[in-house]
Amino acid sequence: MKTPIYIQIKEKIQKEIQYKNSNDAIESERDLSKRLNASRMTVRKAIDELVEEGYLYREKNKGTFVSDKSLWKKNTSVINSEDEKLEYRLINFDVKYSIKDDVLELLGLTDNDSFSIIRAIRVVIKDRKPQNVEEFYIIRSFIDEKNINRFNKLLDLNGYLKDSTMTQKFIPITVPTQYASTLNLDINTPIIMVEGVVRKKSGTPYIYYKSYNNPKEKIIEITI
């Protein structure tokens, strides 16, 4: 079976951007369609897939650019899938959080930068059983202010990942004392903490995320 034209174009673009730097602009759809002798609709479909897969990103009124290459194919995730049985209970919400040095570094910030950090902590519950405790540290300037008190939107990682990418670390620790009772665990119970950083496809970090997972309830699955 002959390979569809848009797939052929997608593969050509994918090969070409291997030799470009992160954040370099690619040709416009018009120029690509002329050079590759294809319709703009076909070229757009190829680019749409490369954007969806994280190889490219678009900036309104500016063009299409090569995503941060260090993040290519690294969007592995243990985020809760959309599950109607999941419930969320907010434990803490602070719109002017005094950020610590380790979080500053992970978000690419310094004490000299002008920024405001939102911190939110919530428990994820399924069938009345705590699955995990999540901590969010979000640079306020990157969010839509109308969502500031709409926690289902503000803390929707899947929503952010439509236009961003997330890298994660899986760290074995003992359950933090402050979350032991929340997760119905004994102090010193071994757990897995997931630490994640969400970045724009340009590579700019804007969310730092931690998930303390209840080993009795939550199974971590990794897709590559």
Q: What is the pLDDT of residues 111-127, one digit of tens each?
A: 777 788 999 999 999 99
Same domain, 19 and 118: no
Name the helix (H) or strand (E) containing 190. Answer: strand 190-200
Residue 201 placed within a domain: yes
Q: What is the pLDDT of residues 160-186, one digit of tens each?
A: 888 888 888 899 999 999 999 999 999
Q: Is residue 42 part of a domain?
A: yes
**Mean pLDDT, range 37-47, rounded to an integer:** 93
Give me the number of domains the chain comprises.
2
- Which of residues 198 and 111 earns the better pLDDT score? 198
48-74: average pLDDT: 82
Do both 138 and 109 map to the same domain?
yes
Residue range of the domain that includes 50: 5-67
- Angstrom distance (rounded) from CA 11 to CA 49: 11
| 93 and 194 together in one domain | yes
Q: Are residues 91 and 157 in the same domain?
A: yes
CATH code assigned at 159: 3.40.1410.10
Instruction: Write down the pLDDT at residue 74.
Output: 52
Q: Are residues 125 and 195 in the same domain?
A: yes
Q: Is residue 195 part of a domain?
A: yes
Q: Are residue 101 and residue 55 in the same domain, yes or no?
A: no
DSSP 69-95: GGGTT-----PPP--TTEEEEEEEEET
Is the pLDDT at 76 greater than 50, yes or no? no
Question: In this predicted model, which residue has the larger pLDDT, 90 or 202?
Answer: 90
- Asked if 60 and 166 sit in the same domain, the reply is no
In this model, does residue 208 exceed pLDDT 90?
yes
